[in-house]
């Protein structure tokens, strides 16, 4: 600010003039002479005054915040300097909102005999005291300043770009294919698997604050983006401790289990043990994008096989009286990802899109040759349909390529009793590598089921078991990640998705 404050100088005050009283007539002449002398003196005085005046110069004392910095001939020189500096500054930082801090500039007028102002020195001094400042937005991540950009809009735009990398707007549509329940036998209905992003956020707390600062500290968009989302990948090795699990290690390092599977392709079905060494890639960007995705997957549900006993048909004979037809189920998952890597996955629903039609087979029970009893209460031959091996079950992991690895079965938690999913003969009851205490039941119809990680077994090899019969207690044996049942179904030696049959 420039304030102009004129002030009177003592030199500009007029001198005092005395007057002499008249005395006698005799001295009139003298008086006249004196008067003439006085006039002459007066004239001399005026001349002197005029001389002083013509040699007295007005100039100004310049003060910044009340402190004298020098003198100047004309205050407009300071105004011109401020204007020139402002123009130069705006040219140097065209995209920033700049201000020139000059301090509070004021002037005091000085009229002094033969006075001169040291204008150039004062202007130089002023110029070097001016400070440029820019308006900027400080970006703080979890309370720490990461960088400064010109304004909040710029910061927001950078964050949006980082977010869009993992949550492109095209995948954030609000419309979501509704599961349609169709009647049996309806034509092909296309409900393609989908993957929609339901929510996106940053894992960190991000704050902005407006600041006045040095313009050289203001970063460009790309610089801040690099600071926020960059960060070099660090490779490290980790030796598995007793009680570790893939998910636990992932959590410990704040990385996705997917990264662990990718780096360590030897891990099968979460089977790790203390002493194994894992390769870990630890990427440490300053901010992490967390997306919540709704994923759907459609699986075929195999038709049930219903066996009807018929006394009029000879034993050993069978007839298919209704051909089965496969149905379809939609599995819906909620998947949480960090920077595109899966952190958690929950199966939220299984919906029947198209009901399967059961296959009905009539089997004869008529005994032609007498002498043999017909003890068929437990034949050891399965029906081809399966019931859940756990009551009050919840699926904690589904079958297939998940987390960048193949999961051979489904994981279930629920009540502790493990039940045979169908009638059959126990083919194996004991400890199986990786599976801990396990049971394999041969259903004698092409199907086999496997039950792993059990705490205890209540059947023996060779024993016939009925559907729903208890075969053991749920546990955490083998390379397990907590108390659960790992359940697999094989058809003619090939692994199946158990949810096709359940």
Q: Which residues bind Zn ion (CB under 5 A)?
A: 411, 486
Q: Which helix (H) or strand (E) holds 86?
A: helix 75-92
Among positive and negative, which fits the CA dihedral 402, 403, 407, 412? negative
Q: From the CB of 467, what's the least distance to Zn ion, in Å?
A: 22
The Cα–Cα gap between 427 and 105 comes to 98
The Cα–Cα gap between 148 and 305 comes to 68
Q: From the CB of 175, what's the least distance to Zn ion, in Å?
A: 34
| Location of structure tokens 């958690």 | 344
Q: From the CB of 373, what's the least distance to Zn ion, in Å?
A: 42
Say whether 369 sits in a helix, a strand or coil.
Answer: coil
Residues 109/62, Cβ–Cβ less than 8 Å = no
Q: From the CB of 389, what's the least distance to Zn ion, in Å?
A: 13
**Residue placing its CB nearer to Zn ion in the complex, 381 or 486:** 486
Q: From the CB of 378, what's the least distance to Zn ion, in Å?
A: 29
Structure tokens at 362: 């009539």
**Residue placing its CB nearer to Zn ion in the complex, 219 or 246:** 246
Measured CA to CA in angstroms, residue 389 lies from 394, 456, 480 at distances of: 11, 15, 18
**Residue placing its CB nearer to Zn ion in the complex, 154 or 480:** 480
Residues 282/255, Cβ–Cβ less than 8 Å = yes
**Residue placing its CB nearer to Zn ion in the complex, 270 or 423:** 270
> What is the 8-class DSSP label of residue 485?
E
Q: Is 448 exposed, middle or buried (0-12, 13-18, 19+ CB in 10 A)?
A: buried
Strand partners, 293: 197, 335
Buried b (16+ CB within 10 A) or exposed e, 83-113: eebbeebeeeeeebebebebbebbbbebbee
**Residue placing its CB nearer to Zn ion in the complex, 38 or 271:** 271
Say whether 11 sits in a helix, a strand or coil.
Answer: helix
The Cα–Cα gap between 216 and 132 comes to 10
Structure tokens at 488: 């697999």
**Residue placing its CB nearer to Zn ion in the complex, 92 or 406:** 406
Q: From the CB of 397, what's the least distance to Zn ion, in Å?
A: 6
Query: Cβ-closest residue to Zn ion?
Result: 486
**Residue placing its CB nearer to Zn ion in the complex, 337 or 486:** 486
Q: From the CB of 350, what's the least distance to Zn ion, in Å?
A: 18
Q: From the CB of 269, what's the least distance to Zn ion, in Å?
A: 6
**Residue placing its CB nearer to Zn ion in the complex, 354 or 411:** 411
């Amino acid at each position: 600010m420039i304030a102009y404050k004129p002030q009177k100088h003592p030199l500009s005050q007029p001198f005092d003039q005395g007057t002499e009283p008249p005395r006698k007539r005799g001295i009139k002449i003298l008086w006249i002479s004196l008067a003439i002398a006085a006039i002459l003196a007066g004239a001399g005085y005026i001349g002197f005054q005029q001389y002083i005046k013509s040699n007295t110069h007005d100039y100004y004392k310049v003060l910044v915040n009340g402190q004298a910095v020098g003198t100047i001939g004309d205050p407009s020189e300071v105004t011109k300097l401020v204007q020139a500096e402002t123009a130069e500054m705006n040219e140097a930082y065209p995209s920033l909102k700049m201000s020139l801090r000059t301090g509070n500039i004021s002037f005091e007028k000085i009229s002094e005999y033969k006075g001169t102002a040291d204008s150039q020195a004062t202007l130089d001094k002023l110029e070097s005291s001016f400070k440029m400042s820019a308006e900027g937005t400080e970006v703080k991540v979890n309370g720490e300043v990461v960088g400064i950009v010109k304004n909040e809009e710029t910061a927001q735009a950078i964050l949006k770009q980082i977010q869009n990398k993992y949550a492109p707007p095209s995948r954030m549509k609000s419309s979501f294919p509704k599961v349609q329940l169709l009647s049996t036998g309806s034509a092909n209905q296309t409900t393609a698997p989908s993957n929609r992003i339901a929510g996106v956020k940053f894992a960190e707390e991000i704050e902005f604050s407006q600041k006045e600062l040095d313009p050289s500290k203001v970063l460009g968009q790309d610089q801040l983006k690099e600071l926020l989302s960059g960060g070099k990948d660090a490779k490290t090795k980790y030796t598995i401790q007793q009680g570790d699990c893939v998910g636990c290690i992932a959590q410990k390092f704040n990385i996705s289990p997917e990264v662990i599977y990718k780096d360590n392709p030897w891990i099968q079905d979460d089977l790790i043990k203390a002493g194994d060494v894992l390769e870990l890639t630890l990427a440490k960007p300053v901010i992490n994008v967390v997306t919540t995705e709704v994923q759907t997957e459609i699986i075929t549900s195999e038709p049930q096989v219903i066996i009807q006993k018929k006394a009029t048909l000879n034993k050993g004979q069978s007839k298919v009286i209704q051909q089965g037809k496969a149905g379809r189920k939609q599995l819906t998952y909620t998947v949480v990802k960090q920077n595109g890597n899966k952190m958690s996955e929950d199966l939220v629903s299984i919906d029947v899109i198209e009901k399967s039609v059961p296959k009905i087979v009539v089997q004869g029970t008529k005994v032609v040759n007498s002498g043999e009893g017909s003890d068929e209460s437990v034949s050891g031959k399965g029906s081809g349909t399966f019931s859940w091996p756990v009551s009050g079950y919840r699926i904690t992991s589904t079958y297939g390529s998940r987390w960048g690895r193949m999961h051979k079965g489904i994981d279930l938690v629920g009540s502790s009793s493990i039940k045979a999913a169908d009638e059959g003969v126990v083919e194996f009851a004991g400890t199986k590598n990786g599976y801990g205490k396990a049971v394999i039941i041969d259903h004698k119809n092409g199907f086999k089921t496997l039950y792993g990680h059990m705490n205890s077994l209540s059947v023996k090899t060779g024993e016939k078991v009925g559907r729903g019969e208890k075969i053991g207690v749920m546990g955490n044996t083998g390379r397990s990640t907590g108390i659960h049942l790992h359940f697999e179904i094989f058809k003619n030696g090939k692994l199946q998705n158990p949810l096709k049959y359940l």
